[in-house]
Structure 1
Amino acid sequence: MELETEKEPAEKAGKEREQVRVFAPATAANLVCGFDILGLALEQPGDEVMMKRSDKSGVRLLKITGDDGRLPLDPAKNTVSACVQMLLKHLGREDIGVEIALHKQMPIGSGLGSSAASTVAGLYAINLLLGEPLSKHELLPFAMRGEELACGHGHADNVAPSLFGGITLIKSYEPLDVIQLPIPKDLYCSVVFPHVDVPTRAARQMIRSKIDLKDAVIQWGNIAGLVSGFFMNDHALIGRSMKDVLIEPTRAILIPEFYEMREQAMVSGALGFGISGSGPSVFAFASSKQTALNITNNIVQHLQSKGIDSNGYVSAINEQGPREL
């Protein structure tokens, strides 16, 4: 994928900084029926990046915590440092030295946009360090390159909401066109990450390459209904639009107790329920924080009764995206 952002001269930047600390949020992508085009940012969890200037030129990734040693420290292979290198090259600032520490505060391979949160935190941090020469929209293609490095597919349904906050719609990829949707009042997310392994690449490979027209029509109607529900602040419409006849039936096979978790969510008051990203995390919308808490607790307890550990979260929709700490 070519970077579509026009080069911005570094002299347009404001005051440069010596060090910054940034948090970027986790995301729930697809929102059940919007495969690769819909996503939202969560208040929690997320990742942190600490970045500071160095007298020695080049980008160095000094430390990663919270990853159990699974992520590479090689600056060219880690999405955070690799995207920082791309941005510095783009701006003609490869002469400067940058040291990075990445603190993973969310599970890897969870379906919650782990790589996206790290990448966005790194890009937001280097942009602050340089005096913000680029807008968030100009940072997005670099974040998509990070997704390509992480999972082989440069999609934006995780990085866009993590970068912009709120709920995002990817109207098109060629050309890249991202739309921020309104956030309905009193809409909360219940999120549960079961401790089972569902690799993103494997989950994508299971997706059907051909679909029936009747299924496509159903899916288009659900996507339109979901987007309309966001605009109309209509929780009932949001709930009845959260149905996926194309991707979920296949991916659900990879997630133990998926349909049982759905049942737990719906009887606990969920508006709708589905897989977050490629899984194994699942999420539900609720009309109150207490209902979201009940959904999360009931699913976690159900998984525990089946011998499956999990992480549970309750979150409002994050309207800000990344923030400096």
Structure 2
Amino acid sequence: MDSIRVFAPATVANVACGFDIFGLAVDNPGDEVILTRRNDNKIVIREITGDAGKLTIDETRNAVSVPVIKYLAHLGLQTGFDIVLHKKMALGSGLGSSSASSVAGVFAANKLLGEPLSTDKLLPFAMEGERVACGSAHADNVAPALLGGFVVIRSYAPLDVFKVPVPDNLYVSLIHPDVEVNTKDARHILKNEVSMNKAISQMGNVSGMIAGLMSSDYALIGRSMVDFIIEPIRSILIPSFFEVKMAATEAGALGCSISGAGPSVFAFSEGRETAEKVAAAMKTAFEQVNIQATTYVSTINQAGPKILE
């Protein structure tokens, strides 16, 4: 096989109370990468679509190619690839756009080379794409995009990641408003210190979220979707955030919060029918302040990246 086409999913990072430690994958949107062997050892980005010309084709500075370069260097392989990247979601959306590209690229390379590494061993290389994209090699987007499911990053040094089982009928409503939030800016405004009371409350919700997911206790999941540390600060970057959040809960959502650094917003619901109503309610709330938005409804994607025919 000389060429492969791979899809990697969008993700929701932080999941309200789990800043930089929680992340989950959804069915759509996502990015597609086509990787083709070359007769030399060069990594060449041939084409990028869907980015409005914003992304560089410099292979040393793009999130799709850097993980491939790091992966090949780790294996000591002198192999070249042409890369075509199809962006299927907006840049800076809070949906793990750079992570999807990173995961699709390194997953495709590993498949073309006969899988010298297991999928989970690709995570450190995918994280290097995040370092290029936003200056921090965090894993709360790339880990679920690569592994699928709901993922917890217990530790970064050493890297310790595990998946948590989730209820079958848990749905995610996602909405991406037509506003822009820069990930670096969204991290810069955060405080370096929090009060003891807030830390204790946050730890209680982190524990409650895990227990609720593992026991299919939807009410506990909802009660745990309270972020005392990050959401109060980042919400100021999203117009009408609290109105959107209220609309989601009034439509039946278990809870609602910011997806990643924003501006996208997500909500959990029990059942697809409720999740569809929640997505529609959030869209209406944004439209009331003349902001157009795109919605998605999905279960938690357990598969992660996949090969497309």
Q: Deviations over 1:65-117 (max 9, x none)?
A: 000001001111111112111111111112x2211100000111000000000
In the alignment, the residues of structure 1 paired with residue 238 and residue 145 of structure 2 have an alpha-carbon distance, to the nearest angstrom, of 25
Correspondent of 2:110 among 119, 124, 127: 127
Q: What is the deviation of 1:305?
A: 2.2
Aligned residue identity for 1:278: A
Correspondence for 2:169: 186
| Ranges in structure 2 where 5+ consecutive residues have no aligned partner | none
Provide the identity percentage: 50
What SS class does the counterpart of residue 60 from structure 1 fall into? strand
Contact 2:66-2:128 at 8 Å conserved across structures: no
Correspondence for 2:119: 136
What SS class does the counterpart of residue 89 from structure 2 fall into? coil
Correspondent of 2:240 among 217, 236, 257: 257
In the alignment, the residues of structure 2 paired with residue 57 and residue 30 of structure 1 have an alpha-carbon distance, to the nearest angstrom, of 38
Correspondence for 2:220: 237
In the alignment, the residues of structure 2 paired with residue 92 and residue 153 of structure 1 have an alpha-carbon distance, to the nearest angstrom, of 25
Contact 2:247-2:282 at 8 Å conserved across structures: yes
Q: Deviations over 1:49-79 (max 9, x none)?
A: 0011122321110000000001001111111
| Ranges in structure 1 where 5+ consecutive residues have no aligned partner | 1-16
**Count of residues in Structure 1 that have an aligned counterpart in Structure 2:** 308
In the alignment, the residues of structure 1 paired with residue 285 and residue 127 of structure 2 have an alpha-carbon distance, to the nearest angstrom, of 36
Q: What is the deviation of 1:155?
A: 0.5
Contact 2:190-2:230 at 8 Å conserved across structures: yes
Correspondence for 2:90: 107
Correspondent of 2:52 among 60, 68, 72: 68
Q: Deviations over 1:177-231 (max 9, x none)?
A: 0010001120000000111111111111111111110110000000000000011
Correspondence for 2:278: 295
Aligned residue identity for 1:67: D
In the alignment, the residues of structure 1 paired with residue 53 and residue 10 of structure 2 have an alpha-carbon distance, to the nearest angstrom, of 20
What SS class does the counterpart of residue 36 from structure 1 fall into? coil
- Note if 1:145 corresponds to 2:93: no
Q: What is the deviation of 1:304?
A: 1.6
- Note if 1:195 corresponds to 2:195: no
Aligned residue identity for 2:135: G
Contact 2:42-2:81 at 8 Å conserved across structures: yes
In the alignment, the residues of structure 2 paired with residue 163 and residue 305 of structure 1 have an alpha-carbon distance, to the nearest angstrom, of 37
Correspondence for 1:49: 33
- TM-score, L = length of structure 2: 0.98
Correspondence for 1:5: none
Runs of 4+ in 1 over 3 A off after TM superposition: none
Correspondence for 1:211: 194
Q: CA RMSD in A?
A: 0.8
Correspondence for 1:324: 307
In the alignment, the residues of structure 2 paired with residue 305 and residue 174 of structure 1 have an alpha-carbon distance, to the nearest angstrom, of 45
What SS class does the counterpart of residue 50 from structure 1 fall into? strand
In the alignment, the residues of structure 2 paired with residue 117 and residue 36 of structure 1 have an alpha-carbon distance, to the nearest angstrom, of 17
- Note if 1:58 corresponds to 2:74: no
Correspondent of 1:87 among 64, 71, 76: 71
Q: What is the deviation of 1:244?
A: 0.5
